[in-house]
Structure 1
């Protein structure tokens, strides 16, 4: 026997109103992405600060879709942008960007700030930057804002399921320990002791991120700091990488991987993933031609030896084809180099990614 249902006009109207409200409520549709760290991953937070660590004037952004500077320390896209692209989501916006509100918040947020390090005294010469403790405070503030949008339970799920990228450590050497001869930190610590101190402080930062609900965190090591054009210009006689900074990287990176493994054991889960960005960079620094670069020593934008002196400005030398330069400015990779790095983050084996690569993370359900 067939059963038929009839709807009164009032019930139909109520149903339509409820459907309309449901479609207006913010929906969490894909994995959110949060970014913490320094200029390698800053998407423009420093544009909103009174600081000398800025990338908001040409020719920065020359190859960005808008061809305008965005505050990214790149000719185009940076590592977080390319990871977002691979995840099929729009790029996360800088947390200080006033446009980051409403449903945009559900995509995630970028808290990174050029010049910062693991330590609070790193980058003091840049004046006003968002130190890592403040970045974490902003992350707590972010969660409060999102709770107002989708409720506490949904916010916790969003954070638990999110991907997180954190990039710190390089500035603690370049803009602290080795910033000037006989720096305060180099007088306080031998290099091995300084590295141990950095690792112990970094562990506290990462544990705090875990306590705030993050469950899949990509942690990059330092690149080959002694090989960047700025260091070649200051410390190299014949284009060789600066020995002291390479030694610092060789001490820091293995201890970082070890600390992450120990933290994962303590937590009973593979929360923290080590990205060996040193090896990723060295591939194209040691054999640039194999990756389609004409040089890995000279920056595309800059002045002086190796274009490694000072800042990249409208008055700097500028290469016509950024795709054939491994370095965009004295410190930062070109967009094309960033793409090579992200490809290894995505699909690299244990030499590059430990205990898993980003493709494996994306294939997993990270619900807690």
Structure 2
């Protein structure tokens, strides 16, 4: 996973993410390509080519899949054989538009699997805590919106899979993954779950993470790195849930199960 190191508004808050694993159905599994759509949580450099402060100019954490990392689609290096690996279309600050539903129709073009993440705990990120929280409580209205959205997303994807006849769409319950840290941080080795490691103002939730910001001594003890994004350690635990999580977190199956099934195809 990749996080932009600067953000500038609340639309960065895990609103929507599509990861498309495409394969040519007439060839072997090794020919798969990997396409990413999303916001600052997975922007691996596209915004570096745009006029914005929401940059993604630090190295990505790595590809757990074991495949060659995808390049930003705006990168001049994305050409020739690099195009066969896939591409990252994520851009920090992107939102959910009415026309993004077109991505669900890509199955007709040969999409093998589509991983769709739900929204995270919108009301518990430091940015929203700074605006709405008085005693450390999460913003109730935003949390309710997330709790309504995610189950309906699972229902929609389940219906799409039934129409197709097999499990193309996979739902990732990132809301629950994050809430595990926030409600029981000690269980996962965290000490601080509602204050960002880097920032300013209440809960370090105001403004950008800059050299002038407050900075924690040990980022591994914090659930949040900045006003919107999980810390690297939190992201690693989330990735582990994506690969190994139960149906509570990954429905109808996790990525390890998917890769095992697809390797036999």
Q: Which runs of 5+ in 1 are unaligned?
A: 1-26, 57-68, 71-75, 121-132, 134-201
TM-score, normalization by structure 2: 0.84
Runs of 4+ in 1 over 6 A off after TM superposition: none
1:109-160 per-position Cα deviation (integer Å, ceiling 9, x unaligned): 111111112216xxxxxxxxxxxx6xxxxxxxxxxxxxxxxxxxxxxxxxxx
Given that residues 43 and 56 in structure 2 are in contact (C-alpha distance below 8 angstroms), is that contact kept between their aligned partners in structure 1? no
Match of residue 357, structure 1, among 227, 239, 254: 254
Which residue pairs with 1:110 in the alignment? 88
Distance 1:107 1:275 in 2: 23
- Higher RCO (CA-CA < 8 Å; seq separation 6+): 2
Larger radius of gyration: 1
* CA drift at 1:103: 2.3
Query: What residue is the counterpart of 1:33 in the other structure?
Result: 34
Contact 1:28 1:106 in 2 (8 A): no
Matched positions, count = 238
Q: CA deviation at 1:99?
A: 1.7
> d(CA) in 2 for partners of 1:55 and 1:233?
24
Q: Quick one: distance in 1 between partners of 2:73 and 2:234?
A: 25
* Whole-Å separation in 2 of the counterparts to 1:104 and 1:314: 35
Alpha-carbon distance between aligned partners in 2 of 1:234 and 1:55, rounded to the nearest angstrom: 26
Using the size of structure 1 for normalisation, the TM-score is: 0.61
**Per-residue deviation, residues 25-71 of structure 1 (Å, max 9, x unmatched):** xx994642211111111111111111243344xxxxxxxxxxxx35x
**In structure 2, what is the equivalent of residue 172 of structure 1?**
none
Superposition pairs for residues 65-144 of structure 1, below 5 Å?
A: 69-70=58-59, 77=61, 81=62, 84-85=63-64, 87-119=65-97
The structure with the greater share of residues assigned to strand is: 2
Q: Which structure has more helix as a fraction of its residues?
A: 1
Change (3 A) 1:359 1:286: same
Secondary structure of 2:71's match?
Answer: coil
Q: Which runs of 5+ in 2 are unaligned?
A: 1-27
1:65-114 per-residue CA deviation (whole Å, 9 max, x = no partner) reads: xxxx35xxxxx62xxx4xx22x2123221111112222222222111111
Aligned match of 1:246: 143
The CA RMSD over aligned residues, in Å, is: 2.1
Q: Partners of 2:207 and 2:40 in 1: how far apart?
A: 16
| In structure 2, distance between residues paired with 1:345 and 1:43 | 19
Q: Hey, what does 2:50 align to over in structure 1?
A: 49
